[in-house]
Amino acid sequence: MSEHVEVWRQPAGSWRWRYVGAEDGGGTVELPSHSSEATCEAAVDAARTAYPGLTVVVDRSSADDAAADGAAWRARWLGAALVVFLVAVRRHGVRTAAVVVVAALAVTARDRRGARTGGSAA
């Protein structure tokens, strides 16, 4: 393949890109991005900004892993939220259970926002 830009997901969940081209002597030149991005789309946008006109190739196995991780996280969270809700209803009534669910949603949203940006959400 001629010169292009590759985008892939790192094990920690952030996305990186790199320029890949050919050297005059027949070798390959790889120039990685300086920083990572929170999403695949952000990494693709950054790569297109840095190298306009070049083909951007996304590692689909990385993208599929990211989607699977998100689905697994949602399933775990839903199961945990259901247990907390049922325990709260049983012990304290519906009103208290609703407050517990809203608080759990707020904490979870804050934690997920921090994970996506790679820093603290506080």
Q: How confident is the model at residue 26 (pLDDT cuts 50, 70, 90)?
A: confident
Instruction: Tell me phi and psi for residue 76, to 5 degrees.
Output: -65, -45
Whether pLDDT at 66 is above 60: no
- Compute the distance between CA of residue 37 and CA of residue 116 in angstroms, rounded to an integer: 9
What average pLDDT does range 9-19 have in this prediction?
A: 91
What's residue 50's pLDDT? Answer: 96
- Provide, rounded to the nearest whole percent, the portion of the chain with pLDDT above 70: 76
- Those residues whose C-beta lies under 8 Å from the C-beta of residue 76, and which sit 6 or more positions away, are none
What's residue 122's pLDDT? Answer: 41
What's residue 95's pLDDT? Answer: 79
Domain ranges of the chain: 4-58, 62-117
Model confidence pLDDT, tens digit, residues 45-65: 999 999 999 999 998 776 556
Q: Write out the two tokens for 121.
A: 């959400």
Q: What phi-psi label fits residue 82: left (phi over 0), alpha (psi between -120 and 50 degrees) or beta?
A: alpha
Whether pLDDT at 120 is above 60: no
The answer to whether the beta carbons of residues 54 and 21 sit under 8 Å apart is no
